[in-house]
Amino acid sequence: MTGRLWLDVPFADKDAAKRAGARWDPAAKRWYAPRSGIAALDPWAAMPDVPDLLPGEDRSLGAGLFVDLVPRSCWFTNVRSCVDHRDWERLRRMITRRAGHRCEVCGAAGNPAAKRWLEAHERWTYDDRTRVQRLGRLICLCSACHTVTHFGLAQVRGREREAYAHLMAVTGMTEARAREHVEVAFEVWFRLSQLQWTLDLSILTDAGVTVRPPPDAADRDTVATGRLNPPGPPSRRG
């Protein structure tokens, strides 16, 4: 729709933006200002859209559903942690729009009532010779496919059985084949986790997205441990 004063509102800011006067366009799936001059909405003023195909992006990379574990030495180098929240909103919006607001693996649409969301996922390549972890593609996944992709996190969250079921349903794998697939994925993960990687996000920077450096490679394991096991009082057993 023409004439809209579009806003870039991350999901975490939606309530604050709504209180400030933002309105939701369900067809465009985007927030907008009902009129100009609302100063409280300035923090979410829209930035120019990023191109539908990022410079150097390979949209054929990593097709289909598979377990795609990020090496431990690369944890917290994901795109969302390296860009401003407004840039992330621009990227997320582009990814879902170009996918037709459907999962690029199973074809499911987002359905909040069914607790199924559309999420952005990174496909990486790892060059053993140069030790470069390069972002090759951004893909739109439903939350169920995303859970399978991050199988290790699914295990931590007690969703392993759910992840196996979805993997088999989408790919047609037998249970034995699915378990073999997961085992091989963890073997690859273990090997890659022994190495320290240099991050290459050039498909973002070449599109005009500002990237802040992730934690130093030597510190990522400590950061990961701290975030996955935050300090707190010991649990009490009744």
| pLDDT tens, residue by residue, 8-23 | 998 889 999 999 999 9
The DSSP bridge partners found for residue 211 are 83
**25 and 103 both lie in a single domain:** no
Global pTM value? 0.81
Residues 6+ apart with CB under 8 A from 161: none
Q: What is the pLDDT of residue 1?
A: 47
Q: What is the pLDDT of residue 169?
A: 98
**118 and 193 both lie in a single domain:** yes
**10 and 109 both lie in a single domain:** no
Which residues constitute the domain of residue 20?
A: 5-44
Say if 62 falls within a structural domain.
no
**142 and 31 both lie in a single domain:** no
Name the percent of the chain lying above pLDDT 90.
Answer: 71
Which of the 8 DSSP states describes residue 151?
Answer: H
Burial status of residue 162 (CB atoms within 10 A of its CB: 0-12, 13-18, 19 or more): middle
Number of domains forming the structure of the chain: 2
What digits encode the pLDDT tens for the residues 112-167? Answer: 899 999 999 999 999 999 999 999 999 999 999 999 999 999 999 999 999 999 99
Say if 174 falls within a structural domain.
yes
What digits encode the pLDDT tens for the residues 76-127? Answer: 778 888 898 889 889 999 999 999 999 999 999 999 899 999 999 999 999 9
75 band by pLDDT with thresholds 50, 70 and 90: confident
Say if 184 falls within a structural domain.
yes
**99 and 162 both lie in a single domain:** yes
**143 and 182 both lie in a single domain:** yes
**40 and 134 both lie in a single domain:** no
The kind and range of the H/E element at 188 are: helix 175-193
Q: What is the pLDDT of residue 224?
A: 54
